[in-house]
Amino acid sequence: MASSKPLSRFWEWGRNIVCVGRNYAEHAKEMGSALPAEPLFFLKPSSAYVREGSPIERPYYCRELHHEVELGVLIGRRARAVPQDTAMEHVAGYALCLDMTARDTQKHCKDKGLPWTLAKGFGSSCPVSEFVPKEKIPDPHKLRIWLKVNGKLRQEGDTSNMIFSIPYLISYISHIFTLEEGDLILTGSPEGVGSVEANDEIEAGIRDVVTMKFKVQSKG
């Protein structure tokens, strides 16, 4: 197990952000997407991280900025082609994360067969909560995650509804590229995604574990 010192250093700086898409059937349905036979995933740059106290900035080209609340899994020990049954040994802990998405841009990219980088990888597209050590969460597949905008509940989901479990995701990704200490996996959004506007306040939490708040700002 990694010591907590280098881990907090990586958490502060942020490393690779690996995002899983369509991992909840109801969210795939609301997006009009088919269920994946294997995990679908994409990357955000480490500069997408934003911590509480700093705003979420809407990119200048985006007219429809969406929230997606997701459980984040922080890797504590390098994982290269690991089997499912030992995959959880590579987890240091968890965080609540937002996969902020320029939905109009994503639609354009999907229509044109272009990558999703503009839609998903802009600066401040990955707000994160405090780090939660894994000892505080005995079963990450039994968590209620929720999100409110200006006090109104928009998303509430249960991690038991993930299509691909956390060990499956770690094993699958680690057979494609090595997961390093400090990498973060966003495990996909439950249903209820929707738009936010400048000056909106997003509050989100993992029930009984952690909450976080962010303000939305317009960049352009």
Ligand X SMILES: CC(=O)CC(=O)C(=O)O
Name the residues that contact ligand X, by CB under 6 A. Answer: 19, 21-22, 27, 31, 68, 99, 101, 188-189
The DSSP line for 156-211 is EEEGGGBSS-HHHHHHHHHTTSPBPTT-EEE----S--EEE-TT-EEEEEETTTEE
Q: Choosing among Mg ion, ligand X, none, which partner's interface includes residue 27 (Cβ < 5 to 8 Å by kind)? A: ligand X
Structure tokens, 86 = 């030992």
Which residue, 170 or 193, has its beta carbon nearer to ligand X?
A: 193
Q: Which does 31 bind (CB under 5 to 8 A by kind): Mg ion, ligand X, none?
A: ligand X
| Site of interaction with Mg ion (CB under 5 A) | 68, 99, 189
Closest to ligand X by CB, 26 vs 89, is 26
The whole-angstrom separation of Cα 100 and Cα 9 is: 24
User: How many Å is the Cα radius of gyration of the chain?
Assistant: 16
User: Cβ 102 to Mg ion, closest distance in Å?
Assistant: 12
CA distance 7 to 46: 15
Q: Burial-class residue 170 by CB neighbours within 10 Å (0-12, 13-18, 19+).
A: buried
Pick one of ligand X, Mg ion, none as the site partner of residue 181 (Cβ within 5 to 8 A by kind): none
Closer residue to ligand X (CB): 127 or 188? 188
Q: How far is the CB of 60 from Mg ion (least distance, A)?
A: 22
Q: Which of 34, 151 has the CB closer to ligand X?
A: 34
Q: In angstroms, what is the minimal distance from the CB of 167 to ligand X?
A: 19
The two structure tokens encoding residue 52? 């509480």
